[in-house]
Chains A and B, each alone.
Chain A
Amino acid sequence: MKTLLVLVPAAFALTAYLLPSDRLRAWLLPVGGVAHLLLALAAVIAPEPLPVGAWLGLDPLGRLVLLLVSLLFACCSVYGLGYLRFRQQWGTRAFVSCLFLFLSAMSLSVMARHLGILWVAVEATTLASAPLIYFNRNRLSIEATWKYLLLCSVGIALAMLGILFVAYSVLPAPHISLQLDALLAGAGHLSRPWLRAGFVFLLVGFGTKAGFAPLHTWKPDAYGEAPGMVGALLAGGLTSIAFLALLRTMQIMIAAGEAEVAHQALVVMGVLSLFFAAVFVIKQPDFKRLLAYSSVEHMGILAIGFGVGGLAVFGALLHMINNALVKGVLFLTAGNIHRRFDSKRREEVAGAIAVLPVSASLFVAGFLAVTGSPPFGLFVSELTILQGVFSAGRFPLGGYMLLMLAVIFIGMGSTVLAVTLGQPSPRANQVNWNENFLTLAPPAVLLLLVLILGLYLPEPVRAMIKAAAGTLEAGQ
């Protein structure tokens, strides 16, 4: 069952590669996406028992991330059908195959219970997603691809070093295992200096992947140049995966009694990320790069949430779901606007609401959601995190967060509103393309989910988040 989650997308990738027709290949996307979603739902609703010492398996934390990744991918795959119809010129073989490989690698990293496998899977996500960024085949996208590939590869290589350090910390013991349960069970005997050094490298390595400032430099380029649906998958799916990998190392640190160090480090990363995001969001002329900085901001919020601990962990897990869903809304609709205007600069795009009424409305709604306005889910999750921060007595941190959130709201707002409202700019009819059901329904569904999460948290979801938070705090 659980291996199917990896094998089915891989099989779809192979089929997509072998299939001769571009039209048929596009249809594979929704089929594969929905199939994976069904499998993921089955795995979440009827969880298989997780034997101690297994290399692959789904714990509550894994289930949570799997569900959100699968959901996001399913929505993006439907969108992809509409998108690829419009974009036929370079063929879709590499694109579709890589999308499925990407999904397969993400599923594997969610299920990995061995640090080595986790590493292999996360590196595989980098490699599978690099060609996706180059889909547009121009100078800008090749630059973004190279930066993404090199920075993330080096980052992940550092994470490997961190894993080796963690392995070294076991060393006086006769047998080394990097299996998560074994590590957690023996965490009390790990050599402290090596474990801490390992954590730093893992934080930097997976942090590069998640895009904490100042390791985020690949992010605006990659998100800006990739097609909208790839941006959605990177910003919603990949960052969650990277964060999950970080949480695995957090589990070890907490079990080893080094929670203090790990928490401090995360809070520092979070504070830096919020700061960088706020600085670069202001006057950002490019609305897709704007979304990238928004992603940096949310990574910062997550880091602070997990770093503060306690109640904030629940909020942070909820925020992870919300963030992934709302990134889907924003990137997919931004992709629509980008396509119609053939530009993503603020000077050239205006009045989108007149030409693309639904996309632009969804974009504005997504903007409101992502900046944490009620009644959307992010309002609830950010409020929970802040509650955790204040109840932990860290008032300066909470105040700082509020200030940065306000700055980012204003900064994003000026660009988003300039793009959507007002008189349509002369480029409004640059490209003969109109929004249609396939490119509107996915973001609408995602926005609806975010709205529901804001109004009312269903009991199963709450239980899932509680269980996930429980695994994270288990060692304490």
Chain B
Amino acid sequence: MLIRLFWHLALLLGLSPLLLGVIAKTKAGFAGRKGPPLLQPYYDLARLFRKDMVISRTTTWLFRAGPVVGITAPLVACLFVPFGAIGAPLGFDGDLIFVIYLLGLSRFCTAVAALDTGSAFEGMGAAREVTFACLVEPTVFFVLIVLVRLTGSFSLGGLFGPALATGWHTAAPSLMLAIFCMLVVTLVENCRIPFDDPTTHLELTMIHEVMVLDHSGPDFGMILYGAAMKLLLLGAMTVGLALPVSLGSAPLDAAVFALAMLILAVLIGVVESVIARLPLLKVPQLLIGTSLLSFFALILLLR
């Protein structure tokens, strides 16, 4: 039990910054540049954790709590999410809602920390982030309902388990739509293009980045690390949807999972390179469209 817990955390902590590196590398490749080394995110994190912090005098403890929750929530949530064929170490009936709300909690705390600074920019970013999160939530739940309906399980471990593999034979169209929706969710939740640009330099167009402008040093490192873990977490769900097969041996499964995650990261890189960022006003339209699509996946399953 403890060993599984350890492996799970090790995979999460070890793999997640690499995904950011792969995405950056892919984008650089598309732009014809060499790009930063694959391990750059690890160096960045190490550098940030060594630095001192500057904390504004107007802030309260909320400002400090944001990053802490931002890193612990994904850490806890990951214990309930199976990584490919590697089962989740923990689980209970209804843990899917628990996990979604853990992610919600981390977003809430980041947003509150942003509001705590009293900066107009950060407040604007928080408002946008929360708006988009609201719009994406129905999609997540419809996808989960599809899975619950298909597998009959209320725990994430069961949802992505072997029951899903049989589900692919009976409800392939629904599941394909669900995968598409989950991809969109992954992109939105992690503030990727076409919904948000993580590398933008103009505060007015930022969404997520503008919320964390005032964080520095280890606090900022925690936020970055938390975001990377969130990417891995949602990516794991997407991969779990697409590849519900087990090869039998744990190291092999881990390798397959890691490979699938890297492919997903490349895919995200490709998407970011070929699609332009959407105008801010178009984003809600697209997100509602995605919700409707996931709803349609549910209808297809129910008939």
Direct contact of A and B (CB under 8 A): no
Residues of B within 8 A of A (CB): none
